[in-house]
């Protein structure tokens, strides 16, 4: 990605004027910003990423209580 392409992407990132100082990717103060722009902002350290939730993998264990 060239510098001009990066600046063009970042110019499309708009926030509302009443937004708090701390910038979080998933808050409601963004105005029509693309997901790829959010990723660029996180990479540059301009936005705090959303904490990833890890799901448990596999099946749930069967209840093996003797009856």
**Its pTM surpasses 0.85:** no
Overall domain count for the chain:
1
What span, in angstroms and rounded, lies between the C-alpha atoms of 45 and 22?
Answer: 12
In a domain, 54, yes or no: no
- What is the spatial distance between Cα 67 and Cα 28, in angstroms, rounded to a whole number? 52
32 falls within a domain: yes
Query: Of all helices (H) and strands (E), which one includes residue 11?
Result: helix 3-11
| pLDDT tens, position by position, 22-57 | 888 888 888 877 888 888 988 999 888 887 777 778
14: part of which helix (H) or strand (E)? Answer: strand 14-15
Looking at residue 34, what DSSP letter applies?
A: -
Structural domain contains residue 16: yes
């Amino acid at each position: 990605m060239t510098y001009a392409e990066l600046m063009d992407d970042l110019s499309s990132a708009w926030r509302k004027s009443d937004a708090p100082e701390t910038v979080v990717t998933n808050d409601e103060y963004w105005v029509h910003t693309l997901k790829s722009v959010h990723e660029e902002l996180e990479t540059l350290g301009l936005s705090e990423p959303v904490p990833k939730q890890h799901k448990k993998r596999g099946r749930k264990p069967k209840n093996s209580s003797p009856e």
